[in-house]
Structures are given as structure tokens and as C-alpha cells.
């Protein structure tokens, strides 16, 4: 995971904890964990970036305010592992919520903090689990801090509004293995449970921190990025209740994904592909009972004076205006056509019996036709042949306020539940497309990348493809690096973006869009496309009525400006009223879902 990407949290509290350069994601007790590390040396390349760009946020420090001791935070002087901050707006154009207004701000009531921790063997010195402060950071002692001193088997809780420092000592060695920690507070008593047994308790007066407009919350380091936690931290959990009062068996993962109750899907298996790499096998091809969709010449031994072209659709009247956002069409089990897209708030649905006359259903509970609440946006919906009935409908949708792509499930497609962990941490700059491929037993998703660059330095968009066997949890990817992009550039016609590192794409503390973390599946083809050609979507699907058939409807945008001959650039002049370019849906086909053939002319939907 890149710095600037959000760490998943399962509540609805908008706790936007961001991974920093001083943190790393490592194997955990359940899934993955956070570890404090020394930030590697870096030298960002942003010379070609415009001064007002979000990318420069956090790279150029503002002036230190009079009377402040701590230098303003930038990406050059920070070492935080994970941070959630209301201050330091020079790092992010989007506002965070305020930590002192969240349940993280523990006070005099009943509460529990628990986590799994694997301290390094032989760890020495105080290591901070978390610290929350009213701010400004480092300018006062208005903080609540939980830390571990492993060589003394000591847990330290510091609360400035309350009693200050409270030390609890265990007789159990802490290092070298996973231990479950639970700290509870009730009736002015602080108790520490280690692996289900009471380790120590003490009287404690604890108060909530006052509101601070520069409040912050940091994990695995303190507010000055010192006292790193020497180990891996997993499943940090805050509760507004006392969850443990006596000896207990440490709980399994609180995540429904990693708990023992979850059973992996048994994936539906279709017939083997007949044409891997879009090539027919030698000799006689036994189609058996398969339907063969005639979409290319893979079965044609010889041809003469024959050209395959797309059977262009005819543009008719507008049947539904859903704005400029994405849309996905699904026919349900009863033949009802559903169109999912961006509503006024979140993801909405419209229905039709004939594909021409659409209605806006009222789903009740005051939500109108909304099936996923905001800030969800941009994605796709499909019926999954795998999994239990209560998870048959799937949506792959991003959160635009914090970033991250999530799987949402539903028994009927009318109301969806979000998975706890982001599948991918990227910003949803455009809709992704997803489908299940029974012939390869893979879930395949196409994502738009803004990593390409035209000869004039403008963004050139293309699509990359991810493949997983399990939708839930996090999907592995290979980070984008300049070295990787240069290797790709030797094999595929993609110009290397000038920005390095790529995760600065949307500025610090905001996740990047997709780069080249996955293989490029479709984009500009220099053999048939002019320069300054963008691909905005693929809308790829597995053809449901025949085997060995995949179709896509790539939406290409041909720019009038930025590159190319003057005779084309002049078309963007305002007096011509032609806009900035031409949008053109085309047809693409594949026999294996990996290698695609485009039919650019005529356009599938001519405008």
C-alpha cells in the first residue's frame, strides 16, 4: 500500500486514518497489520507539475506561525506511521473530520480499547500504540496516549485532562509473539487484560480532550513521530462499552472476513477456454454443444475480400437522463431491467420492463431510489453466480470522500452492505467494471489509469485489469514505480508519466488513482488512434449466452487540443462550438478476456 492511502475502518465514524511514509503494511495476526518503519530516502520528481496542483500540497511548507515550536508538517519532515488530522490543511485539499469529536476521544465513561500486538523480541524503549491530541501538535500536553515499555512489561496510559500518567505492570513477557491487549475503563478504574487474563488495574480519573481545530490522531508513533512501536499492530478497536470484566478467551478477528464463521466461495466452473490468447488450437476443433459467437475469424482458415466490422447501433430517443456519471444495466431473475448509476446522493436505481420506459422506484425508509448511500460513487453492479443467496448481488463502488474501492453485497439488489476492508486503496476517479469469468474462475475488474502521458505532457488514460479469486479482503498489487513504467514502455505504447512517486497523484494524504499496478488491458493503439486519445471506460463483460466470448464497449475521447496537427487543434476554438473533442463508443471482442480486438469503424454508437 502507498503512503497517502486510507487504512480501512469498519465504523461509520469517518475516521480517515492515512498511511504515512513512516509506516508499512506487514503480515498480521489476521490479515495485515501496521508497523512503524524509518521512512526511506526519497527525491520526488514534480518539476513539470503546475504550482497550483494538489500534488504540491505538503511538499512546500507554509510559514511557521509566530510562537510555534514545531515546524509545519510536510512530506519532507514527517515520519508518521498512520495519521488522522484536522490541522495541517496544507497536506490535503479535502477536510478530515475532527478526532476530538469522535469516539476515539476517550473520557470518563465506560470504554474498551483492544488490539493484537506482536512486539519484536528484545524490543527496548517506550513505543506508542496511539496518541490523540487537541493540537496544535507538539505545542501543548493536551493528549491521551497509550504506550508500551516492553523491557519492563509495562503499559502506560497518559491523559492530560485526567490524572496524567498511569502505569500498569504485567508479570508476563510481552515480546516475540502475538498478544491480545484489552484496556477497559469503568467507575474510575483502568484495567489491563493480557491474553484474556487480568494483568493489572489501577484507579484512574480520565477526561475527554477539549475540542481542537488542529486535533490529530496518530498510531504507532507519538505526535512528533518519536517513540515508534517496535512491532506489528493488528485490529485496533475502540468501543464505548466495557467488553471484558473477567477472564476470557481472546476473541478471534472482529472482522467478518477473517473470522472462522466465513466460508470461501466455491466458484462456479465453466468449460475450458477453446481459444486462449485469441488463437485456435491446431487440428479439428470440437465445439460440442457450445454456442459459437461469430465475432472474429478465429475459426476461419482462409478468407478473401472479407472484412469484419461492427454492426453499429442506431441512435434513437433519450429514454432516461442519469446525468454525466456512470451507469450499469442488469436484468434480474424476473426479467426486470435495472439501471444503476449516480443519484443525488450515492448509488441509485431505475427500472424498466422494456428498456425504453423507465420508472424511479421508491424503496421506502425515506431513501427514494437510493441503494447505496453517499459518498459511494462510480462503479458497477452485477449478479454473482457464487456465494450464498444473501450475497448474490454485488457492487464494486468507490468512496470519493476518502478513497478506496469496496465490495458491496445484497440479497436482492435493492439495499447493499459494504465490506469492512477496501479491496483496493485507490481514488475512484472513474468507474471500474467487474464481472465473474466462470471459464477462468476469476473475478476480473477493469480500472482506468491516468498514468499515461501524451508527447505534449498531457494525461493519456488507459485501462488496467485486476484478477482475484476472492472478492473480500484486500487485493494484492505491484506498486507503480518509474523503473516498472520504463520496463512497460519498452513493450507497450505507453508514455511514462513525469510524476514520481506516483502516489502523489492527488496530493499527500489523498490516495492516488490507478497507475500501472496491474497489466494494461486496453488503451490507445498508435496503429489506428491519433495522439491525445483517451480511453474513459471499457464496460467489458463476459457474453452470457455463449462460451469463449467477451465483449466490451470502450469509450474513446479524441482531444482537439494539446497534441496533433494545428488543423485538429483549431477545432477546439470557442467560436466553433465543437467542445474539446469527440467521444466515441466502439466495439471490442475477446476469446479469453485478456487479449482484445477492437473494431473502431464504424463506431458502435455514432454521434
pLDDT digit string, tens, across residues 59-105:
777 788 899 999 888 878 889 999 988 876 666 656 678 999 998 99
pLDDT of residue 556 exceeding 90, the answer is yes
The pLDDT assigned to 412 comes to 97
pLDDT of residue 497 exceeding 90, the answer is no
Q: pLDDT per residue over 194-224, tens digit each?
A: 999 999 999 999 999 999 999 999 999 999 9
CB atoms within 10 A of CB 284: 6
pLDDT of residue 591 exceeding 80, the answer is yes
The pLDDT assigned to 322 comes to 80
Residues 121-137 have a mean pLDDT of 95
Mean pLDDT of the chain: 89
pLDDT of residue 353 exceeding 90, the answer is yes
Q: pLDDT per residue over 58-71, tens digit each?
A: 677 778 889 999 98
Long-range contacts of 478-482 (CB under 8 A, 24+ apart): 478/517, 478/518, 479/2, 479/517, 480/451, 480/515, 480/516, 480/517, 482/45
* Angstrom distance (rounded) from CA 462 to CA 596: 14
The pLDDT assigned to 245 comes to 93
Higher pLDDT: 270 or 87? It is 270
Residues 46-55 have a mean pLDDT of 62
The pLDDT assigned to 53 comes to 64
The pLDDT assigned to 547 comes to 95
The pLDDT assigned to 577 comes to 87
Residues 552-572 have a mean pLDDT of 87
Q: In this structure, what C-alpha cell is assigned to residue 270? A: 465453466
* Angstrom distance (rounded) from CA 451 to CA 543: 29
Q: How confident is the model at residue 426 (pLDDT cuts 50, 70, 90)?
A: very high
Burial environment of residue 292 by CB neighbours within 10 A (0 to 12, 13 to 18, 19 or more): middle
Q: Are 451 and 480 spatial neighbours (Cβ–Cβ below 8 Å)? A: yes
Q: pLDDT per residue over 322-346, tens digit each?
A: 876 788 999 999 999 999 998 888 8
Q: How confident is the model at residue 560 (pLDDT cuts 50, 70, 90)?
A: confident
The pLDDT assigned to 569 comes to 87
pLDDT of residue 42 exceeding 80, the answer is yes
> Among 45-54, 187-196, 220-229, 441-450, whose mean pLDDT is lowest?
45-54
Q: How confident is the model at residue 50 (pLDDT cuts 50, 70, 90)?
A: low
Residues 560-575 have a mean pLDDT of 85
Q: In this structure, what C-alpha cell is assigned to residue 216? A: 490529530
* Angstrom distance (rounded) from CA 445 to CA 447: 7
170: number of CA atoms within 13 Å, CB side? 25
**What is the 8-class DSSP label of residue 432?**
-
The pLDDT assigned to 233 comes to 98
Q: In this structure, what C-alpha cell is assigned to residue 252? A: 478471534
Residues 548-576 have a mean pLDDT of 89
Q: pLDDT per residue over 226-269, tens digit each?
A: 999 999 999 999 999 999 999 999 998 888 777 767 788 999 99
β strands within 15-110, DSSP E: 18-19, 23-27, 32-36, 82-85
Residues 443-456 have a mean pLDDT of 89
Name, of 104-118, 367-381, 488-502, the range with top average pLDDT. Answer: 104-118
Domains of the chain: 18-239 (2.60.120.200), 276-599 (2.115.10)
Residues 447-474 have a mean pLDDT of 89
Helix (H) or strand (E) holding 566: helix 566-569
The pLDDT assigned to 69 comes to 92
Q: How confident is the model at residue 590 (pLDDT cuts 50, 70, 90)?
A: very high
b/e 567-591 (16+ beta carbons within 10 angstroms → b): ebeebeeeeeeeeebeebbbbbbbb
Percent of the chain with pLDDT over 70: 94
Q: pLDDT per residue over 382-411, tens digit each?
A: 999 999 999 999 999 998 877 889 999 999
* Angstrom distance (rounded) from CA 510 to CA 403: 7
Q: pLDDT per residue over 139-183, tens digit each?
A: 999 999 999 999 999 999 999 999 899 999 998 888 889 999 999
Q: pTM for the whole thing?
A: 0.91
Q: pLDDT per residue over 10-31, tens digit each?
A: 776 668 788 999 999 999 999 8
Amino acid at each position: 500500500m502507498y503512503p497517502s492511502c486510507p487504512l480501512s475502518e469498519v465504523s461509520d465514524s469517518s475516521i480517515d486514518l492515512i498511511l504515512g511514509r513512516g509506516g508499512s503494511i506487514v503480515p498480521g495476526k489476521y490479515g495485515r497489520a501496521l508497523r512503524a518503519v524509518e521512512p526511506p530516502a526519497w527525491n520526488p520528481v514534480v518539476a513539470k507539475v503546475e504550482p497550483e496542483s494538489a500534488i504540491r500540497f505538503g511538499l512546500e511548507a507554509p510559514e511557521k506561525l509566530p510562537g510555534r515550536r514545531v515546524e509545519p508538517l510536510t512530506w519532507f519532515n514527517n515520519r508518521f506511521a498512520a495519521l488522522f488530522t484536522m490541522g495541517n490543511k496544507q497536506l490535503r485539499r479535502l477536510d478530515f473530520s475532527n478526532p476530538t469529536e469522535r469516539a476515539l476521544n476517550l473520557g470518563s465513561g465506560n470504554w474498551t480499547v483492544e488490539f493484537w500486538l506482536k512486539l519484536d523480541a528484545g524490543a527496548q524503549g517506550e513505543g506508542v500504540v496511539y496518541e490523540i491530541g487537541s493540537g496544535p501538535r507538539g505545542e501543548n500536553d493536551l493528549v491521551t496516549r497509550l504506550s508500551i515499555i516492553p523491557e519492563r512489561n509495562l503499559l502506560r496510559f497518559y491523559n492530560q485532562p485526567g490524572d496524567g500518567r498511569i502505569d500498569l505492570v504485567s508479570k508476563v513477557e510481552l515480546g516475540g509473539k502475538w498478544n491480545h491487549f484489552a484496556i477497559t475503563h469503568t467507575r474510575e478504574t483502568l484495567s489491563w487484560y493480557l491474553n484474556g487474563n487480568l494483568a493489572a488495574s489501577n484507579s484512574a480519573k480520565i477526561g475527554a480532550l477539549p475540542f481542537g481545530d488542529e486535533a490529530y490522531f496518530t498510531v504507532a508513533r507519538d505526535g512528533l513521530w518519536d517513540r515508534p512501536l517496535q512491532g506489528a499492530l493488528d485490529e485496533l478497536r475502540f468501543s464505548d462499552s466495557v467488553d471484558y470484566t473477567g477472564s476470557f478467551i481472546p476473541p478471534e478477528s472482529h472482522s467478518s472476513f477473517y473470522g472462522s464463521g466465513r466460508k470461501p466461495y466455491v466458484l462456479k466452473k465453466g468449460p475450458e477456454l477453446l481459444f486462449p490468447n485469441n488463437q485456435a488450437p491446431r487440428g479439428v476443433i470440437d465445439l460440442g454443444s457450445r454456442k459459437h459467437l461469430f465475432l472474429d475469424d478465429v475459426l476461419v482458415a482462409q478468407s478473401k475480400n472479407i472484412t469484419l466490422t461492427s454492426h453499429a447501433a442506431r441512435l434513437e430517443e433519450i429514454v432516461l437522463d442519469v446525468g454525466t456519471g456512470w451507469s450499469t444495466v442488469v436484468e434480474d431473475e424476473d426479467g426486470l431491467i435495472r439501471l444503476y448509476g449516480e443519484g443525488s446522493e450515492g448509488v441509485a436505481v431505475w427500472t424498466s420492463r422494456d428498456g425504453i420506459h423507465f420508472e424511479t422506484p421508491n424503496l421506502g425508509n425515506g431513501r427514494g431510489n437510493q441503494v447505496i448511500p453517499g459518498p459511494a460513487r462510480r462503479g458497477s453492479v452485477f449478479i454473482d453466480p457464487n456465494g450464498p443467496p444473501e450475497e448474490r448481488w454485488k457492487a464494486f463502488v468507490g468512496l470519493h470522500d476518502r478513497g478506496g474501492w469496496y465490495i458491496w453485497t445484497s440479497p436482492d439488489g435493492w439495499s447493499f452492505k459494504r465490506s469492512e476492508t477496501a479491496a483496493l486503496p485507490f481514488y475512484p476517479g472513474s468507474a471500474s467494471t467487474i464481472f465473474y469469468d466462470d471459464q477462468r474462475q476469476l473475478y476480473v475488474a477493469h480500472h482506468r489509469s491516468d498514468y499515461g502521458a501524451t508527447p505534449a505532457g498531457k494525461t493519456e488514460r488507459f485501462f488496467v485489469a485486476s484478477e482475484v479469486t476472492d472478492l473480500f479482503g484486500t487485493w494484492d498489487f505491484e506498486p507503480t514505480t518509474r523503473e516498472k513504467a520504463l520496463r512497460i514502455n519498452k513493450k507497450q505504447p505507453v508514455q511514462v508519466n513525469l510524476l514520481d512517486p506516483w502516489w502523489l497523484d492527488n496530493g499527500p494524504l489523498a490516495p492516488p488513482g490507478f497507475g500501472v499496478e496491474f497489466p494494461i488491458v486496453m488503451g490507445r493503439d498508435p496503429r489506428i488512434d491519433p495522439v491525445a486519445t483517451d480511453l474513459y471506460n471499457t464496460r467489458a463483460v463476459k457474453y452470457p449466452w455463449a462460451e469463449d466470448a467477451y465483449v466490451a464497449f470502450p469509450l474513446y475521447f479524441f482531444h482537439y487540443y494539446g497534441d496533433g496537427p494545428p488543423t485538429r487543434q483549431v477545432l477546439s476554438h470557442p467560436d466553433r462550438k465543437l467542445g474539446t473533442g469527440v467521444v466515441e463508443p466502439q466495439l471490442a471482442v475477446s476469446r479469453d478476456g485478456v487479449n482484445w480486438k477492437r473494431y473502431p469503424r464504424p463506431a458502435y454508437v455514432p454521434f
